[in-house]
Amino acid sequence: MTGTKGTVVAVNGNMVSVNFDGAVSMNEVGYVKVGDKELKSEVIRIRGDVCQLQVFEMTRGIAVGDPVEFTGDMLAVEVGPGLLGQVFDGLQNPLPKLAEEAGYFLERGVYLDPLPKDTKWEFTPAAKEGDTVERGDTLGTVPEGSFTHRIMVPFNMYGTYTVVSVKPAGSYTIADTIAEVKDEKGNTIPLTMSFRWPVKRPVDCYEERLKPKDPMVTRVRLIDTFFPVARGGTYCIPGPFGAGKTVLQQITSRHADVDIVIFAACGERAGEVVETLKEFPELLDPRTGRSLMERTVIICNTSSMPVAAREASVYTAVTLAEYYRQMGLNVLLLADSTSRWAQAMREMSGRLEEIPGEEAFPAYLESTIASFYERAGLVRLKDGNFGSVTIGGTVSPAGGNFEEPVTQATLKVVGAFHGLSRERSDARKYPAIHPLDSWSKYKGIIDGEKVSYAHSFMFRGSEVEQMMKVVGEEGTSLEDYIIYLKGDFLDAVYFQQNSFDAVDSSVSPERQKNLFAKMLRILGSKFDFKDKNEARSWFNRLRQKFLDYNGSEWKSERFEVLEKEVTSAVDEKAQGLDKTAEKLLA
């Protein structure tokens, strides 16, 4: 504690006004004392000798005159070995351990160490006596699951340091001193395997920030081909309730080409959080065949918790992601759902009596959301390795209205937009990403010119479908009707996947390219059908063949047989290619 003390002068929900005597800074942590409990809080505004704190616990029982003690420290997380496989709340309390100590009805004012202090790690030194080191440099390594966890010079140690001593290889806890360094003034500083870092300060120990360019393969065809996400980029998944946001996130976390997955349930409903906690430990990691939790961290925060905890969970998650990026790993951060974080900001802004923006959200909503997504990125580290943080946030707009402020603020800063459609989810289409509304600024696994050509059939087919709703099928020309059938065929065979099928739920880039080449040929082919009935019947039969083909094991005997069947079926009916398709397939 710094010695700065204060007294509660007003309480408004989970916001407490405190009269203080001494120095207090923004985002400083303070503890409000209620009986024998100390409730953790954060300074969010200072006006003269009165400051407002947002309390991370229920404020029941706080009264005017209650004492407050300030710590002098920012809201921070502890980083080090032992994070993977953990389930934390927004303040980085390990929830399973908290449940053991406090029971399932969690008590207020109980804060536990996030990392186990008694676990021993096999430390291997990397630095030696006499070396000059800076923040972020590696002192040694320990194995953490299937990864090599780097023990780094704490990020808050600015300047250069000389290594005085490093412990030899052996077993140590995170509380043991593993090295000593001397600063420029000659002071000796002991270092352990863990340290703390403020959650609202981006980690910036890297050498250079680079533009994301390589796609992050998700093994979902619609995303990888048409609306790709770059490794180190950002994307959002807005959609109405029940449209499949959580399912899509779980499939992505399981199959995405990343090292670490951090799942931030920042204000999700309790039922969905329970489902996540039950399913994640049972999901098998396709890479290792072991539990997916071994390379996952879950930050769990339900909508029934105080609103301040939602904000804390978002920043805790992104700080942990940046920490692992600093080791040269690729991290995927999934935030579900940022709408409830924004609602918490609106609630707190109202209590601060700030001038509201659109729909009563704070005027700084856009800049706050932007500052969160800006912490994603691809970086080059000092040792020449690369690390990345990819952020995917879901948005839950009321009624599925994408024009509401949170969705619009998010769309301004992300690189890809995967808009989920109620109409498509009700039709049991997975993923329910709308192929006409969604977009991406990134480069995918397939040439952009080919993708644009294929995408054009969806737009043209949709126009014909709208026309048919007015004039009927009989009022449509055969040529237009074939375009409609081609667009519908692309949707059914390429856009949709069977998430329950072991083969079709996860499609390798090689297989996507193979299937897309066949799609391109069908879309660009000229067909000579006698009438619409023949055209419809032929495309329906071909669609069923392709669905069987999609469900067959890659390069298996059945796969080879079905591939010949679909190829010969197209060869029999196609009457050559249009000029664009000829050029693209040349």
Strand residue runs (E) in 373-513: 377-380, 386-395, 416-417, 439-440
Task: Check whether 574 is labelled as a binding-site residue.
Answer: no
Task: Check whether 573 is labelled as a binding-site residue.
Answer: no
Task: Check whether 80 is labelled as a binding-site residue.
Answer: no
Q: 125 near 166, Cβ under 8 Å?
A: yes
Three-state DSSP state, 374: coil
- Angle, helices 338-351 vs 365-373, to 10°: value is 140
User: Counting Cβ atoms within 10 Å, is residue 95 exposed (0-12), middle (13-18) or buried (19+)?
Assistant: middle
Give one DSSP letter per residue of 186-229, joined into a string.
S-EEEE-S-EEEETTS----SSEEE---SB---S-HIIIIIS--
CA angle 40, 389, 514 (to 5 degrees): 145
Closest CA to 265 of 303, 292, 295, 238: 303
Q: 223 near 433, Cβ under 8 Å?
A: yes
Q: Which residue has the tokens 């000059």?
A: 132
Whole-angstrom Cα distance, residue 248 to residue 242? 11
Q: 263 near 394, Cβ under 8 Å?
A: no
Q: Which amino acid is at 554?
A: W
Q: 174 near 121, Cβ under 8 Å?
A: yes
Strand residue runs (E) in 242-322: 260-268, 296-302
Three-state DSSP state, 563: helix
Q: 471 near 463, Cβ under 8 Å?
A: no
Task: Check whether 405 is labelled as a binding-site residue.
Answer: no
Contacts of 112 by beta carbon, 8 Å cutoff, 6+ apart: 93, 94, 97, 98, 101
* H/E element, 437: none
Task: Check whether 200 is labelled as a binding-site residue.
Answer: no
Whole-angstrom Cα distance, residue 409 to residue 358? 11
Task: Check whether 461 is labelled as a binding-site residue.
Answer: no
- Angle, helices 338-351 vs 307-325, to 10°: value is 130
Tell me, what DSSP letter sits at residue 286? T
Tell me, what DSSP letter sits at residue 294? G
Task: Check whether 72 is labelled as a binding-site residue.
Answer: no
Closest CA to 13 of 409, 336, 368, 307: 307
Give one DSSP letter per residue of 473-524, joined into a string.
GGGS-HHHHHHHHHHHHHIIIII---TTSTTTTS--HHHHHHHHHHHHHHHH
CA angle 398, 402, 407 (to 5 degrees): 90
Task: Check whether 239 is labelled as a binding-site residue.
Answer: yes
- Could you tell me which residues are annotated as the binding site? 239-246
- Could you tell me which residues are annotated as the binding site for ATP? 239-246
